[in-house]
Amino acid sequence: MFWFHMLILLGIIFIGIRYGGIAFGLLGGLGVSLLVFVFGITPGKPPVNVMLIILAVVAGSATLEATGGLNLLVSYAEKLLRNNPKYIVYLGPLCTYCLTVLVGTGHSVYPLLPVIYDVAYKQGIRPERPLAVSTVASQMGITASPIAAAAAVVLATATANQLAIGLVDILKITMPATFLGVLAATTWSLKRGKDLDKDPVFAEKMKDPEFVKELNREGGGQTEKQIDPKAHKGLFIFLGGILAVIIVALFSKTVLPKGVGMSVAIQFMMLTVGALILLFTNVSPKKIAGGTVFNAGMVAVLIIFGIAWLSDTIIGAHKTYLIDLVKDMVEALPWTFAFAMFIVSVFLKSQAAVLTIMLPLGFLLNIPPAVLIGVLPACYAYFFFPFYPSDLAAISFDRTGTTRIGKYVVNHSFMLPGIIGVGTATGVGYFLSMMLSS
């Protein structure tokens, strides 16, 4: 029956891929209903703590976006890129990575993509080189962010399993691991493909006057003109809030009252950050709820609600069988859990959702916490099929056509940067975690 129930889960995931976004959460609820009413299984527990943390973080980040603070951050990155155009292949990905680490969401990448393209093209650099790895880097920054949903899932799951894992324990592994992963993917990208002036496909396109006209039209950012005067104040409060979260995480045993975990602290602290921005900038609450960050965050919460609830129901009903099935392999090669997370992430385009499903299974199988933390970067694999919004955006912004989806779909611009970046980050994270835990 376990395999039959897994087919239900996989079927729901594949149907969810067809519809996208919020459909995963709704279909997950349908799956729980089938298991309860048709198979008589007791429903598992929805990941309430994880959802609350995501809600709190999204509320703070969306309030920053409403003030224009996110655009202000992007404008600083744009100035850096335009002032150092020769290093765009390195600086573009590093900027998108750092933006994600700071604001906790990869959706911050969109305003920078046209800037990265514009700088690369005007410098005569093949735009595919910085663009493809920049979208990968923006997603790799999620497990390195102190306020992203991924860290929240690890904290909440560890607390549920009575394990003392703190935010610092996570970040001291994921930050250096993902940073080195981005550098590895970027270094490989320096010479990928033919130079723009030697690319025969591009040369053929240049024979079309309409293509040349479209190629040379102005574009690429100009974010500074859109900055709201409230943005500086909002950004200052937000960055101060992130610093406060890190300080509390470092001294949680002395700062927090007994019985209050870091996962709960992140909730009330990020709501406080949002409240302070609201009070000091007088930003409209309607503007907060109408922003990109808020909408994306609410979709993420619903996805996790449905899919994670369904997976917890299946795991809870088949605990003994699961342990017997993979116990020997996991005991001998616990690091192979990284491949399982990677495969799930190929189909489920949310790192928080992947971790919400897989980490409880990892703890159930008694995989050492050091291994689970070390392989956290492997929860990002949705670059495998190039249909994630940031990947599609990079393709559309590259008017030269060098960033593209290949004839066979999987031979696209993001595949090798993704494999190199995630592979390096996972390997570094694993060895660093095992070294520090020994």
Please list, in sequence order, all residues whose beta carbon lies within 8 angstroms of the beta carbon of residue 421, skipping any fewer than 6 positions away.
133, 136, 137, 140, 181, 182, 184, 185
In a domain, 74, yes or no: yes
Provide the token pair at 102: 């700071």
Give the number of other CB atoms < 10 A from CB of residue 124: 10
Confidence (pLDDT) at 226: 60
pLDDT at 93: 96
Residue 292 within any structural domain of the chain: yes
CB 359 within 8 A of CB 369: no
Residue with tokens 């799951």: 157
| Amino acid in position 101 | V
Q: What is the total count of domains within the chain?
A: 1
Question: What is residue 221's predicted lDDT score, i.e. its pLDDT?
Answer: 53
pLDDT, tens digit, 9 for 90 and up, residues 126-150 = 999 999 999 999 999 999 998 888 8
Instruction: State which residues form the domain around 92.
Output: 2-9+22-437
3-state secondary structure 173-186: HHHHHHHHHHHHHH
Within-domain flag for 356: yes
Q: Which segments in the chain show pLDDT lower than 70?
A: 217-227, 326
**pTM assigned to the model:** 0.82
The region that residue 2 occupies, defined by phi over 0 for left and psi between -120 and 50 for alpha, beta otherwise, is alpha
Q: What is the distance between the alpha carbons of residues 133 and 188, in angstroms, rounded to a whole number?
A: 10
Reported as half-sphere exposure (CB side, CA atoms, 13 A), residue 211 has a value of 12
Residue 323, in any domain of the structure: yes
Residue 274 lies in a domain: yes
Rounded Cα distance, 81 and 79, in Å: 5
Say if residues 237 and 273 touch (Cβ distance below 8 Å).
Answer: yes
pLDDT the model gives residue 151: 86
- 248 with 255: CB under 8 angstroms? yes
pLDDT of residue 34: 94
68 domain-assigned = yes
Helices (H), 348-388: 351-364, 369-374
Q: What is the DSSP string of 25-43?
A: HHHHHHHHHHHHHTT-PPP
Specify burial of residue 92 (Cβ count, 10 A radius: 0-12, 13-18, 19+): buried
pLDDT, tens only, 16-59: 877 877 888 899 999 999 999 999 999 988 888 778 888 898 89
Would you say residue 277 lies in a domain? yes
Inter-axis angle of helices 2-19 and 292-317, nearest 10: 170
Q: Which two tokens stand for residue 216?
A: 């040379």
Q: Which helix (H) or strand (E) holds 212?
A: helix 209-215
Is there a contact between 307 and 29 (Cβ–Cβ < 8 Å)?
A: no
Asked whether residue 109 is assigned to any structural domain, the reply reads yes
Q: For the chain, what is the mean pLDDT?
A: 87
Q: Tokens in use for 36?
A: 């309860």
